[in-house]
A and B are shown apart, each in its own frame.
Chain A
Amino acid sequence: MPAVTLVDSTLRDGSHAKRHQLSVEQVSTVAAALDRAGVDVIEVSHGDGLGGASFNYGFALTDEYELIEAAVKAVERARIAVLLLPGIGVKEDLARARDLGASVTRIATHSTEADVSPSHIAFARELGYKTCGFLMMAHMNSPEGLLEQAKIMEAAGAETVYVTDSAGALLPDTVKARVEALRGGLEPGTEVGFHGHENLSLSIANSVAAVETGATYIDGCTCGLGAGAGNAPTEVLTAVFEKLGIDVNAETFPMLDVAEEVVRPIMDRPQVVDRASLILGYAGVYSSFLLHAERAAERFDVSTKDILVEVGKRKAVGGQEDLIIEIAAELGKVPA
């Protein structure tokens, strides 16, 4: 067993960056390539999880179940994961994805709201999923507070609990404090995961910090393709872990080829830390708000940065994309 299980979320977190326009062919090709490169788990869902296709988050080009089915067929070794946010998706969605062959699930809540997840976690276990709890916007809870929430997920049956840095707002020290809290406070058999974003250019450093403090599940997206400035690039994680002597199943050179030859060609634009995405990390705003804010900025002729700063001030949590239009409309009224 490798020291770290690598989860690639290009086909889920990357769905945000692709405005949920991934095709069956793209999903099949990427999943097959990641599988060949040795990635353990490949997540496929709407960016906002099962059932996320909506006015609020964006409708998808292809029904996510078709994408899940395509990914399951494309792989030989890797397991296919799905994301579910209680409040957006429902238990039936988990059952449907399981029937299609998904075998890992991440049940996600805001970092203080784990008590909406126990029935979904328990149901996922009954269905035979490898079940992870996913505590989003982890920067908005203290290490001790996050541990209390993680225990709720663990008690419900979560086998791994994630410190999920949805805003890319954590620093290596604040990652360590959270991972240490979970590692020290959860049962020894429960694994700890980390999901990083690149908004402050720390996704790799934060992932390394997480492993150093006991995380054994690490998320990445190939070429970083994901919300905001993107995620920890899976190919970089693979290379860095190899150099650090941290054993993973994925192999560096094949991963470099997947990144360069398979994923980069399907990207709409490069993942960069620009003014808007840096603000996400700096102000602690949910990464997937970026493209919604850019679109609203154009529609109401206001600056993306101003929208995101205001979203941060209002303490929005993941899922509140609807607030963006309201704020942009308000800002648009202010005389220049």
Chain B
Amino acid sequence: MSEKVPCAILGSGNIGTDLMYKLQRSETLEPRAVIGIDPDSDGLKRAAAAGLDTSAEGVDWIVAHPEECRFVFEATSAGAHRANAPKIEAAGLQSIDLTPAKMGPGVVPVVNLEQHIDAADVNMITCGGQATIPMVAAVSQVTPVPYAEIVATIASLSAGPGTRESIDAFTRTTAKGLEEIGGAERGKAIIILNPADPPLMMRDTVFCQISPDADRDAIRASIEAMREKVATYVPGYRLRGEPQFEDDRVAIFVEVEGAADYLPAYAGNLDIMTAAAVAVGEALAKLRAPSGAVA
């Protein structure tokens, strides 16, 4: 077994902390540092307790310690990543961006990652995108999808201020991902926040327009194969019931239960982002030729 690839987490909030716990289980990646801006944050305390380097100096610490991190997981905000990205790239490091900054190409681990191995910055799109693009891809691999539409319902408690302030960005970015990565000619995304208590699991309904003559058995098989692939990195990724075919469409019902590493289990929307980001990091570590930075 070769040495693990070092990586750092920029951002010590909920996402960064959940990422840390997932990365600690990785057989490919080794989290070395969690970098925040608030020395008193729970995330930095937990990282220090876990034996990782911590700093409240932000991106400057990363730039000063390139040997600690071949990959930088950006779990701050879009604005922060726009400022940080050039510094990270100049230091010869690669960003895996969980913010909506969209500096680099959007990636879904099981769908298009191999096309972007060499990108200096890859973006994790949106939680709704990570949950639904694989299903659109599963259908479009079998039959043309002129139009795909997804409805993501997430628990209110798991929608942070960033998502709430930029809800248009969520719908637009997700819709674009359905087209560019999922393979639909046209995409539409809808997001619903549900405040029920106890909180609901993340649910996503994926509608694909298909020919009424499309091979339904082949579509079912492709959906199931894709579910299995996604479940390798998001164990709580499930289908609720059978795909429902009607005339010119199929409806696929997805539920995402989180692994509850740091975030609660209902927050499948956040879990799928961190889990997919780890999967991207692991795949990139394997796919890219080892660099001199790897000890």
Contact = CB atoms under 8 A, between A and B. Distances in A.
Q: Do A and B assemble together? A: yes
Interface of A: 54-56, 86-88, 90-91, 110, 112-113, 115-116, 118-120, 140, 299, 314-323, 325-326, 329-330
Contact of B207 (A56, A118, A120, A329): A56
B171 interface: yes
B149 A55 contact: yes
A56 B190 contact: yes
Contact of A55 (B166, B170, B193, B207): B207
11 contacts: A87-B170, A87-B171, A90-B172, A110-B195, A115-B161, A315-B196, A315-B200, A322-B203, A322-B205, A322-B251, A326-B253
Contacts of B28: none
B195 A325 contact: no
A217 B170 CA distance: 32
Interface residues of B, number: 34
Contacts of A323: 153, 203
Interface stretch (B103-111, B176-184, B241-249): B241-249
B214 interface: no
B194 interface: yes
Contact of A320 (B153, B164, B188, B240): B153
A113 B195 CA distance: 8
B191 interface: yes
Given A56-B151, A329-B242, A90 B171 contact: yes
Contact of A112 (B167, B195, B203, B242): B195
Contacts of B203: 322-323
B40 interface: no
Contacts of B244: 325, 329
Given A316-B194, A319-B192, A320-B194, A299 B153 contact: no
B156 interface: yes
B165 interface: yes
B151 A113 contact: no
Top 4 A-B pairs ranked by shortest CB distance? A322-B205, A315-B196, A55-B207, A90-B168
Contacts of A322: 151, 153, 203, 205, 251, 253
Chain A CB count within 10 A is highest, among B161, B200, B249, for B200
Chain B CB count within 10 A is highest, among A90, A91, A299, for A90
A3 B240 CA distance: 51
A86 B240 contact: no
A54 B172 contact: no
Contacts of A113: 156, 164, 193, 195
Contacts, number: 89
B168 A315 contact: no
Contact of A319 (B156, B190, B195, B246): B190
Contact of A87 (B161, B190, B209, B240): B190
A320 B241 contact: no
A316 B168 CA distance: 22
Contacts of A330: 241
B188 A315 contact: no
A320 B168 CA distance: 18
B190 A112 contact: no
A322 B249 CA distance: 13
A120 B165 CA distance: 9
Given A55-B149, A325-B251, A116 B167 contact: yes
A119 B225 CA distance: 40
Interface in B197-256: 200, 203, 205, 207, 209, 240-242, 244, 246, 249, 251, 253
Given A56-B149, A112-B156, A113-B193, A86 B168 contact: yes
B168 A56 contact: no
Contacts of B194: 110, 315-317, 320
